[in-house]
Structure 1
Amino acid sequence: MEKREGNIKFKLFGTLRLNYRPSEGEIFIAEPITLAQLLKELAKKYAGIQEKLLEEEKLRPGVVILVNGKNVLHLQGLNTEIEPGDTVVIFPPGAGG
Structure 2
Amino acid sequence: MVTVIEHPNYLKRAEKLLTENQRDEIADIVASTPLAGDVMPGTGGFRKMRFAGTEGKGKSGGVRVIHLFLTSDHEVHLVDVYGKGEKSNLTKAERNELARLATILKGE
Q: TM-score range by the shorter chain?
A: 0.3 to 0.5
Task: Give me the TM-score of the superposition, normalised by structure 2.
Answer: 0.33
The structure in which a higher percent of residues are strand is 1
The structure in which a higher percent of residues are helix is 2
Larger RCO (CA within 8 A; separation ≥ 6): 1
